[in-house]
Structure 1
Amino acid sequence: MTATLTTLAIEPLTRDAFAPFGDVIQADDTVRHFTINDGNTERYHDLAHIDPGQDGHAIVSIFRGLPRTLPFTVTLMERHPQASQAFIPLSGRPYLVVVADPTSTPKVADLRVFLCQGDQGVNYARGVWHHPLLALDAVSDFLIIDRAGPGDNCDVVQMEAPSVIPALD
């Protein structure tokens, strides 16, 4: 028996839409900001709740993602049960994030896909299911802030049925 392939809708990334899954990291007028360094710098302050979890500490890494081709079939999801994980694009290119609620094993009907612009980062809250990095168009670098510490901090599940992210219009 062949599973029906579900096409996922792609949503623009906004703070309100992404709030159940974590934080949008973006410098704009909707966040607290103020001038520092004798008027030379605008500080966009406290943009994400970085949660290294108990006995963990925050680390900074760079992930270099190969571009994914759309349409793309989603067959697995992962989560980090002990800490948050932030992705900040360094290459200025759009990318996709696929997320699902952390309260249960994700099903196709639970998946949400967001199109992130090259100036928008995301911080997945602790335990939020997400697909591994989905760079688009070209090899892209991302600054990652996540956890180092004792214990296993990556759960991976295969989806009960595949779903597809369509090509962008």
Structure 2
Amino acid sequence: MVAEPLTREAFAPFGEVIEASDAAHHFTINGGNTERYHDLAKIDAGPDGRVIVSIFRGQPRALPFPVEMMERHPLGSQAFVPTSGGPYLVVVAPAGDPPGAEDLRVFLARGDQGVNYGRGVWHHPLLALDGVSDFLVIDRKGEGPNCDEVTLAETVLIDVNR
């Protein structure tokens, strides 16, 4: 599989793209000094959960990369916002039954784009590309198991045309 560009429209079935773009609701604040890109993701902490903020530091992955597993968070959403400026890959499949190779979509995210995976959306763990990369992560803390992992029946190799 070859990664496609990450766009709001293409990613909509899986969650939201978090970026400062003209398509987002935005307005000027702080006496005209700041543009606020407002309410970019529906952060879902689920019942009895609370929103937490963490930093994940991902090691770069070599391409082509074999996708052998996927995970999901059934009790809340999970948002990733890069802070290091480098591109990364986003591998997703619809919420529901465990995915097969035919269910996967692969996106190439720019270093100024974040993603918010909707509750229960299958996704691959962090896939930094060009170097060690930090991500601000907003997700759920609370009671109950909130990470399901599955091994794919078939390994999928992903690559990037850039």
- Which TM bucket (shorter chain)? over 0.9
Please tell me whether the aligned partners of residues 77 and 158 of structure 1 are also in contact (alpha carbons under 8 angstroms).
yes
RMSD of aligned residue pairs (Cα, Å) = 0.7
Structure 2 Cα separation of the partners of residues 63 and 111 of structure 1:
23
2:125 maps to 1:121: no
Shift of 1:97: 0.5
Q: 1:50 aligns with which of 43, 52, 55?
A: 43
Please tell me whether the aligned partners of residues 95 and 117 of structure 1 are also in contact (alpha carbons under 8 angstroms).
yes
2:6 maps to 1:13: yes
Q: 1:99 aligns with which of 92, 97, 102?
A: 92
Q: Which amino acid aligns with 1:75?
A: E
Shift of 1:9: 2.6
CA deviations on 1:36-73 (whole Å, 9 max, x unpaired) are 01111100000000000000000000000000000100
Structure 2 Cα separation of the partners of residues 68 and 9 of structure 1:
15
Please tell me whether the aligned partners of residues 77 and 132 of structure 1 are also in contact (alpha carbons under 8 angstroms).
yes
Please tell me whether the aligned partners of residues 108 and 160 of structure 2 are also in contact (alpha carbons under 8 angstroms).
no
> Please, what TM-score do these two structures have when normalized by structure 1?
0.94
Structure 2 Cα separation of the partners of residues 27 and 72 of structure 1:
29
Structure showing greater radius of gyration is 1
Q: Which amino acid aligns with 2:66?
A: T
SS in 2 for 1:147: strand
Shift of 1:104: 1.5
Aligned to 2:62: 69
Please tell me whether the aligned partners of residues 70 and 168 of structure 1 are also in contact (alpha carbons under 8 angstroms).
no
Structure 2 Cα separation of the partners of residues 139 and 68 of structure 1:
9
Q: Which runs of 5+ in 1 are unaligned?
A: 1-7
Structure 2 Cα separation of the partners of residues 50 and 167 of structure 1:
29
Structure 2 Cα separation of the partners of residues 78 and 71 of structure 1:
20
Please tell me whether the aligned partners of residues 9 and 112 of structure 1 are also in contact (alpha carbons under 8 angstroms).
no
Q: Once superposed, which parts of structure 1, at least 4 consecutive aligned residues long, lie more than 2 Å away?
A: 166-169
Structure 1 Cα separation of the partners of residues 114 and 160 of structure 2:
22
Shift of 1:103: 1.8
Shift of 1:168: 3.4
**CA 1:75–1:88 in structure 2 vs 1: closer, same or farther (change >3 Å)?**
same
Residues paired across the two proteins, number? 162
Q: Which amino acid aligns with 2:67?
A: V
Q: Which runs of 5+ in 2 are unaligned?
A: none
CA deviations on 1:111-166 (whole Å, 9 max, x unpaired) are 00000000000000000000000000100000000000000000000001101012
